[in-house]
């Protein structure tokens, strides 16, 4: 029966049913397609009732997929890539992972090495969530899978040791400073070290900042009239790697009427252990933050919890989900609702621009910001309004390979992704590279001579703050116009 011409309404219903079936087949083995009274023939209603398997669907689309192979192989040849390269870099995610996780969880058995390896190679970049037709929350799914693996799979000794060390060093600034200090002495030996250690040493900065006074619990009062009261998540690794970011955040907020609270008891957001499946450790860290910030909420009040590391922000905004059913559920939901990326807060403020920069900056869209928090345009809008020429490199959707601890646990894939990202950023010939996540900044900086700076450092500078230290060499040769301050 030709529905398209004779029964256009029925044809439209059938297309909708087919689309729904496709969505469900991304995570289910079989779906039932049922449409009551689809058409009327001879005065009788005709119904559609059929079952479609994932295998049947794959058989149907196989000719379409195969018809693209010649073009794909030609593109690979032109790029000088092998099939294995593409499989690892471009298709490290994909529609097969969701059924794989489901099968692992439903079987309630010890995960196999192949399954664990497939999930370990996931970046958690969350790009798949932006295109998933069935709106699967893959972040929740893969985090649950990693927790299950952590509890039910025994990794090789060296892998366990590496993960144990990461979980007990990176979230603690004092420990991380000691580790980085020791690692600086080992950098000359990097080339003879195993892959993971070599990758780690390659990212160790040549100089380390001293602890910042802004790390300590206190209230930084607004300069002038107080218009907002906000808490700042000062983080963990960022305190050891780059103290300028928090200091710039505090300065720009204070100049624009914000009391900035560094709450007593707040620290690591829990993201690093959380994404390794170590839920006990991550929830303990998150609970400390919730209690510390709720003390401020119930005291003088908070208008926002400001976060200047997008990876942390994505997790804090998920506190409500993480603590569902817990005694802290209500408080966690309140904190999650208050959580704001620094660019969200600054976009609600009329910034007082005092410097007109003559700089071309390549903006790196961090995965956790553009996919995790769905903030794509605010940072670029703020930079453009401040007078920067914002360059948008190719492959903005692709990850730099940092992905929390991914560059430490999957260094080979991470290094290749870094090289690809750096190549795209440098091709724009910028004066500086701008990003909103410390992990991405360290990753990219380890592969380029172009200065890598945080969005808030540039915005702080053009609104009356000091020039970003990492930009000193660039700014000496750049003309800028000073605008009279108040």
Q: By the 8 A CB rule, do 407 and 443 touch?
A: yes
- Residue closest to 155 by CA, chosen among 190, 199, 99, 115: 115
Q: How many CA atoms lie less than 13 Å away from 372 in the CB half-sphere?
A: 27
- Residue closest to 253 by CA, chosen among 413, 465, 417, 76: 465
The set of residues, in sequence order, having a beta carbon less than 8 Å from that of 452 and lying 6+ positions away, is 432, 433, 434, 435, 441, 444, 445, 470
Q: By the 8 A CB rule, do 410 and 121 touch?
A: yes
For residue 139, give both structure tokens.
């972040």
Q: Which pLDDT belongs to residue 459?
A: 98
Domain 213-346 is in which class?
A: alpha beta
Adjacent-strand bridge partners of 307: 233, 341
Cα-atom radius of gyration of the chain, to the nearest Å?
25
Q: By the 8 A CB rule, do 315 and 274 touch?
A: yes
Q: What residues does each domain of the chain span?
A: 3-62, 68-152, 157-202, 213-346, 351-482
DSSP H or E stretch at residue 452: strand 452-454
Q: Which pLDDT belongs to residue 60?
A: 83
For 239-295, the pLDDT digits (tens) are: 999 999 999 999 999 999 999 999 999 999 999 999 999 999 999 999 999 999 999
- Residue closest to 439 by CA, chosen among 417, 468, 461, 424: 417
Q: CA 244 to CA 52: how far, in whole Å? A: 57
Instruction: Work out the number of other CB atoms within 10 angstroms of the CB of residue 269.
Output: 26
For residue 183, give both structure tokens.
């690692």
Q: CA 66 to CA 85: how far, in whole Å? A: 19
Q: Burial of 25 by CB count in 10 Å (0-12 exposed, 13-18 middle, 19+ buried)? A: buried
How do the pLDDT tens digits run along the chain, 486 residues long?
A: 566 667 778 778 888 888 778 777 766 778 888 888 878 877 888 888 888 887 888 788 888 878 877 877 777 777 777 766 665 444 445 456 777 888 888 888 888 888 898 899 888 888 888 777 667 788 998 999 999 999 999 999 989 998 999 999 999 999 998 888 888 777 777 666 666 677 677 777 778 888 999 889 999 999 999 999 999 999 999 999 999 999 999 999 999 999 999 999 999 999 999 999 999 999 999 999 999 999 999 999 999 999 999 999 999 999 999 999 999 999 999 999 999 999 999 999 999 999 888 899 999 999 999 999 999 999 999 999 999 999 989 888 889 999 999 988 988 888 889 999 999 999 999 999 999 999 999 999 999 999 999 999 999 999 999 999 998 767 655 544 444 334
351-482 has the same fold as 3-62: no
Tell me the helices (H) and strands (E) count for the chain, helix number first: 27, 13
Adjacent-strand bridge partners of 40: 45
The set of residues, in sequence order, having a beta carbon less than 8 Å from that of 109 and lying 6+ positions away, is none
- Residue closest to 110 by CA, chosen among 152, 81, 147: 152
Classify residue 210 by its DSSP letter: P
Domain 3-62 is in which class?
A: alpha beta
The set of residues, in sequence order, having a beta carbon less than 8 Å from that of 284 and lying 6+ positions away, is 270
> How far is CA 16 from its chain centroid?
33
Q: By the 8 A CB rule, do 405 and 236 touch?
A: no
Q: Is the CA virtual torsion 351, 355, 360, 364 positive or negative?
A: negative
Q: Which pLDDT belongs to residue 478?
A: 53
Q: For 351-482, CATH number?
A: 3.40.50.1860
For 57-113, the pLDDT digits (tens) are: 878 888 887 887 787 777 777 777 776 666 544 444 545 677 788 888 888 888 888
Q: Which pLDDT belongs to residue 1?
A: 59
3-state secondary structure of 22: helix
Q: Quickly list DSSP for 46-99.
A: EEEEEEEEHHHHHHHHHHHHHTTHHHHHHHHHHHT--HHHHHHHTSSS-TTHHH
Predicted TM-score (pTM) of this structure: 0.79
């Amino acid at each position: 029966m030709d529905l398209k011409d004779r029964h256009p309404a029925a044809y439209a219903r059938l297309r909708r049913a087919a689309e729904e079936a496709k969505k469900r087949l991304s995570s289910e083995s079989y779906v039932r397609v049922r449409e009551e009274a689809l058409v009327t023939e001879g005065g009788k209603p005709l119904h559609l009732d059929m079952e479609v398997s994932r295998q049947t669907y794959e058989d149907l689309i196989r000719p379409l997929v195969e018809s693209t192979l010649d073009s794909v192989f030609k593109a690979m040849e032109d790029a000088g890539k092998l099939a294995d390269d593409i499989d690892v870099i471009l298709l490290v995610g994909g529609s097969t992972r969701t059924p794989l996780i489901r099968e692992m969880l439903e079987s309630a058995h010890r995960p196999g090495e192949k399954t664990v390896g497939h999930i370990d190679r996931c970046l958690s970049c969350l790009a798949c969530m932006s295109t998933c037709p069935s709106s699967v929350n893959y972040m929740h799914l893969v985090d649950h899978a990693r927790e299950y693996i952590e509890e039910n799979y025994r990794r090789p000794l060296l892998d366990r040791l590496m993960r144990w060390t990461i979980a007990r060093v990176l979230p603690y600034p004092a420990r991380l400073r000691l580790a980085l200090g020791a690692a600086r002495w080992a950098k000359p030996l990097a080339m003879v070290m195993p892959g993971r250690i070599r990758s780690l040493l390659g990212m160790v900065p040549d100089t380390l900042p001293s602890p910042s006074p802004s790390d300590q619990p206190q209230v930084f009062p607004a300069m002038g009239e107080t218009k907002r009261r906000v808490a700042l998540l000062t983080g963990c690794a960022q305190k050891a790697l780059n103290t300028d970011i928090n200091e710039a955040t505090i300065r720009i907020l204070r100049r624009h009427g914000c009391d900035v609270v560094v709450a007593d008891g707040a620290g690591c957001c829990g993201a690093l252990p959380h994404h390794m499946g170590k839920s006990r450790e991550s929830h303990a860290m998150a609970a400390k933050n919730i209690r510390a910030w709720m003390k401020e909420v119930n005291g003088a009040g908070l208008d926002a919890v400001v976060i200047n590391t997008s990876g942390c922000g994505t997790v804090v905004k998920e506190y409500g989900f993480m603590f569902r059913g817990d005694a802290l559920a209500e408080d966690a939901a309140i904190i999650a609702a208050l959580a704001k990326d620094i660019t969200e807060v600054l976009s609600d403020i009329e910034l007082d621009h005092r410097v007109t920069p003559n700089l071309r900056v390549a903006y790196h869209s961090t995965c956790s910001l553009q996919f995790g928090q769905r903030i794509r345009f605010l940072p670029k809008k703020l930079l453009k309004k401040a007078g920067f020429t914002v360059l948008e490199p190719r492959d903005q959707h692709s990850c730099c390979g940092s992905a929390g601890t991914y560059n430490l646990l999957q260094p080979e894939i991470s290094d290749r992704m870094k090289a690809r990202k750096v190549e795209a950023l440098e091709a724009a010939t910028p004066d500086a590279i701008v990003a909103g996540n410390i992990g991405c900044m360290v990753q990219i900086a380890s592969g380029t001579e172009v200065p890598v700076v945080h969005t808030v450092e540039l915005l702080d500078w053009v609104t009356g703050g000091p020039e970003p230290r990492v930009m000193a060499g660039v700014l000496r040769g750049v003309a800028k116009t000073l605008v009279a301050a108040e």
